[in-house]
Amino acid sequence: MLIKVPSVANLGLETIKVDIEINLANRGLPGFEIVGLPDKAVDESKERVRTAITSCGIDFPAKKITVNMAPADVPKEGSLYDLPIAVGILSSVLEFPVPDKSLFLGELSFDGGLRHTKGAFLMALFAKEFGFKNLFVPKDSANEAAAIKGIKVYPVENLTQISRHLQKQDEINPVSYKQVSQSAPAPAEFDMKEVLGQEQAKRAMEIAAAGGHNIIMIGSPGSGKTMLARALPGILPPLNEIESLEVTKIYSASGGIPPGGSLISSRQFRAPHHTASLVGLVGGGSKPHPGEISLAHRGVLFLDEFNEFPRQIMEAMRQPLEDGYLAISRSKQRVIYPADFMLVASANPCPCGYAMHPKKNCICNPNQIAKYQKRISGPILDRIDLHISVMPVDTAEFEDNQKNSEFLEASQIIKQRVVLARQKQEKRFKNETIHSNSQMKNSHIKKYCKLSKDVEEILRQASLKFQLSARSYMKMIKVARTIADLDGAEEITISHMAEALQYKPKNYELA
Amino acid sequence: MSLHNEIGKIGENFAKEFLKKQGYRIIEQNYKTKYAEIDLIAEKSAGFFGKKELVFIEVRTKIGENFGSPEDTLNKSKLRKVMQNALAYSAFKKWRGPSRIDAICIVLKADCTISRLTHHENIIGS
C-alpha cells in the first residue's frame, strides 16, 4: 500500500516541496526504514513515530514500512517530518484519505503530542505561493504560520486529534492570527535619561537609529560606551511590514521564535561576545546556518570591545556591511542570508584605556597604541558612518547631573523623533527597494540628496583637508540627509552638513 | 529434550500443517548442513505453469509475548546463518531455480494451542 503525504524542506531561507512516500509491504520482516538522505534527527523519527502511534492506543502495523523522501538528492534535516510520516501510517491503518492541497509539519513526542517546530512560518509562505490550502502544524507553532493570510492553519495538539479530524469524526478549528505581546518592543536595559552627560554621543545615537547608520564609539573605560549601546533598543523605530517578514523568516528558519510566538515587529539587538567563532558570527557550517549578523538583520549588532575581535571575523564582515546580504557557498549547498544590520562598535583607544583621558595618564608607549589601534582595519573603519569619541564624565559634575537627570530626555521622546525621521525616509523610498538613508546607493544619493552650492563647497573642502575617501564622502551626505530628516527639513543645509562632518572618520589624537 | 526444544518441535509441526494447507510441498524437515539446521524446506509452484520455487522456512516459537515477540528473535546474525544454510543447501542440491527465505512466527498459549501464527514471506532482501 502506497501513501503520499506532502511536506517541505527548508534550505536556508528557501523552501522546497518534499513528498513523503510511505510503502507498507506485506512481504518481508516487519521493519521501519527511511530513505532519501535523512540526517540523524530525521532517521530517529522512526522511534518517535512508533512510540507516539502506540501511545495513542493504535497498534503499530507489523509490516515492512519504507519511507522515501523525494527529491532523493536533497539532504533532509530536522524533526519536522514526524507528523507527515505518522499521518501516512495512520491513514493506512485507519483507512482515511490524505487530504489534497495540504502540508504537514511537526515534531512528535512519545505521548503522541506535538511539539513546537521551527520553520512553520516559511512553510506558510511556501503554501501561499504554491496554492496549498491547509496547513497542519503543532499548536504552539500555529500562530507563527497564521501570520500569513489566505490559508487555513490547523493547530494540532496530538495524533488522536488529527486522525479524528482526517476521519471526519471531529473538527479542528483553523486559527486566525493573534498579535502576541512578546512582539511588542523589548524594553531596553537602560533609559537614555539614565545616561548622565554624553550629550554628543546621545545625539549620534539618535542619528544612527534614525538613519540606520553604523557607529563606533571610542573612549576610556567607564565612560558609558556600553551603557549608551544598551540604551539604544529603546530609541529604535519599529520594523515596517516588509522588514518584519524578512526578520521573521530568518528567525523561523533558525528556530528563534518561541512557542506561541509570531511575527517579530521589534528590531533585534544582538550583542555577541568577542570570543564568538567566525561561523557563529557570520554564519556557515556544512549545512549553512545564519550567524549573528543575519539574526541582527534590520536591527543592531553590538560588538563591545571591538578591537578584541579576531581580525578574521572583522574582515569577514566587510562584504555584508556593504551589500546587506551574505552568500554562503558550501560543497553541498549555496545559501543567501540577508544581513542588513546596523553595526554599533565600542573600543578603547589604547591597551590601558586612558589615552584620551583629560586627566589620567596613559601608561602605554606609542608603539603599543599604534599596534592596538591597528587591530581595527582601515576598510572596516571606512564603512562606519559615525565616529564618536566618548569622553569620561567628570565625577565632580556627577552629583549635579544626577539631580538634573529628570530634566534629561527620556528614550520615549527621542524615539518619537526617530520614528518621524524614519517615516520620512520610508515615504521617500516608497518606490525603491530600500528603507533607510544608510542603504542608499550612489544613484539614490544623486536622486534624493541634491546639495546646494554652499553645502557642496563645505564638503569638498572638508574632504580635501581630512583626506576623506570616496566612500566616506558619500557617507557624509547620507548622514547629513538623516540629520536633515530629524530636523524636518527637505533640503540639506550647511548646518546639517557641518554636523555630519563632526562624525567623520578620525585619527584619535592622543591627549 | 529440554523444554525450549520441545516448544520448537511443537511450533515446527504447526508450521508444517499450516504450509501444507497453503499448498506447499514439504521436502525436508530439520535438514542438517555443516553449519546448522534448516527447520523446513518446501516448494511451491509460482503461477499456473510457473517454475517451482524453493522455500526455506525458519520457524520461531514462543509461549506468550510478554518477553518479546518471536519476530524480535530474528536478529541479524540469525538471519545471516539462515541465509548461509540456504545457500549451502542450494549448492549441494545444485538447485538452479528461484528460491526465497520465509519465517513463520508462532505464539503459543500456555496449553500449547496457537494464539497467533504469522507467515513473513521473503524476509531477506526486498
- Taking the C-alpha atoms of residue A242 and residue A412, their distance in angstroms, rounded to an integer, is 24
Q: Does A464 touch chain B (CB under 8 A)?
A: no
> pLDDT-derived band of residue A115, with 50, 70 and 90 as boundaries?
very high
- Taking the C-alpha atoms of residue A340 and residue A232, their distance in angstroms, rounded to an integer, is 17
Q: Does B116 touch chain A (CB under 8 A)?
A: no
Q: Closest chain B residue to A29 measured between Cα atoms?
A: B123
Q: Please state the rounded mean pLDDT for residues A380-398.
A: 86
- Taking the C-alpha atoms of residue A426 and residue A19, their distance in angstroms, rounded to an integer, is 42
B55: pLDDT strictly greater than 70 = yes
The answer to whether the CB of A191 falls within 8 A of the CB of A411 is: yes
Q: In what helix (H) or strand (E) does residue B91 lie, and over which residues does it extend?
A: helix B76-92
- Residue A183: per-residue pLDDT: 47
**Which member of A27, A30, A62 has the closest CB to residue B126?**
A27
Per the model's pLDDT, the better-predicted residue between A359 and A140 turns out to be A140
Q: Could you identify the residue written with the cell 512578546? A: A182
Q: Please state the rounded mean pLDDT for residues A100-109.
A: 94
- Residue A178: per-residue pLDDT: 80
- Taking the C-alpha atoms of residue A330 and residue B112, their distance in angstroms, rounded to an integer, is 63
Query: Residue A385's closest CA among A344, A434, A436?
Result: A344
- Residue A378: per-residue pLDDT: 85
- In the numeric block, which cell numbers belong to residue A221? 573605560
- Residue A280: per-residue pLDDT: 93
Q: Chain A residues with CB inside 8 Å of B126's CB?
A: 25, 27-28
**Among A62-76, A172-186, A354-368, the least confident range:** A172-186
The answer to whether the CB of A45 falls within 8 A of the CB of A52 is: no
- Residue B44: per-residue pLDDT: 86
Q: Distance of CA B62 to CAs A215, A367, B36, B52, B80, Å?
A: 76, 84, 20, 31, 21
Q: Please state the rounded mean pLDDT for residues A24-45.
A: 90
Q: Is the dihedral of CA A94, A100, A102, A103 positive or negative?
A: positive
Q: Do B122 and A28 touch (CB under 8 A)?
A: yes
B104: pLDDT strictly greater than 50 = yes
Chain A closest-CA separation from residue B114 CA (Å)? 18
**Phi/psi at A327 (5° precision):** -100, 115
**Which member of B71, B118, B122 has the closest CB to residue A27?**
B122
Instruction: Of A189-198, A210-219, A500-509, give the range with the top mean pLDDT.
Output: A210-219
Q: Do B123 and A28 touch (CB under 8 A)?
A: yes
- Taking the C-alpha atoms of residue A478 and residue A451, their distance in angstroms, rounded to an integer, is 11
- Assign A308 to helix, strand or coil: helix
> pLDDT-derived band of residue A237, with 50, 70 and 90 as boundaries?
very high
Q: Does B71 touch chain A (CB under 8 A)?
A: yes
Q: Please state the rounded mean pLDDT for residues A452-475.
A: 90
Chain B closest-CA separation from residue A59 CA (Å)? 14
Q: Please state the rounded mean pLDDT for residues B25-38.
A: 87
Q: Please state the rounded mean pLDDT for residues B99-123.
A: 90
Give me the residues of A, 7-26, that contact B with CB < 8 A.
25-26
- Residue A506: per-residue pLDDT: 74
- Written as one string, the DSSP assignment of A449-462 is -PBPHHHHHHHHHH
Q: Does A31 touch chain B (CB under 8 A)?
A: no
Q: Does B72 touch chain A (CB under 8 A)?
A: no
- In the numeric block, which cell numbers belong to residue B55? 522455500
Residue type, B91: A
Chain B closest-CA separation from residue A255 CA (Å)? 38
Q: Please state the rounded mean pLDDT for residues A29-33.
A: 89
Query: Residue A204's closest CA among A346, A404, A60, A380?
Result: A346
- Residue B69: per-residue pLDDT: 87
Q: Please state the rounded mean pLDDT for residues B73-77.
A: 88
- Residue A108: per-residue pLDDT: 96
Q: Do A26 and B71 touch (CB under 8 A)?
A: no
Q: Does B119 touch chain A (CB under 8 A)?
A: no
- Residue A494: per-residue pLDDT: 93
- Residue A397: per-residue pLDDT: 72
Q: Do A29 and B123 touch (CB under 8 A)?
A: yes
First to last CA, chain A: 82
Residue type, A60: F
DSSP A73: T
Share of chain B above pLDDT 90, in %: 40
A404: pLDDT strictly greater than 90 = no
Q: Chain A residues with CB inside 8 Å of B71's CB?
A: 29-30, 62
Rounded (10°) angle between helices A120-129 and A241-253? 120
Q: Does B123 touch chain A (CB under 8 A)?
A: yes
- Taking the C-alpha atoms of residue A290 and residue A148, their distance in angstroms, rounded to an integer, is 23
A134: pLDDT strictly greater than 90 = yes
Q: Please state the rounded mean pLDDT for residues B95-99.
A: 85
Q: pLDDT by residue (tens digit) across A155-198?
A: 999 999 999 999 999 899 998 888 765 545 556 788 888 888 88
A511: pLDDT strictly greater than 50 = no
Q: In what helix (H) or strand (E) does residue B46 lie, and over which residues does it extend?
A: none
Q: Closest chain A residue to B104 measured between Cα atoms?
A: A29
Provide the mean pLDDT of chain B: 88
Q: Please state the rounded mean pLDDT for residues A468-478.
A: 90
**Phi/psi at B37 (5° precision):** -110, 145
> pLDDT-derived band of residue A510, with 50, 70 and 90 as boundaries?
very low
Q: Do B71 and A27 touch (CB under 8 A)?
A: no
Does the interface predicted TM-score (ipTM) exceed 0.90?
no
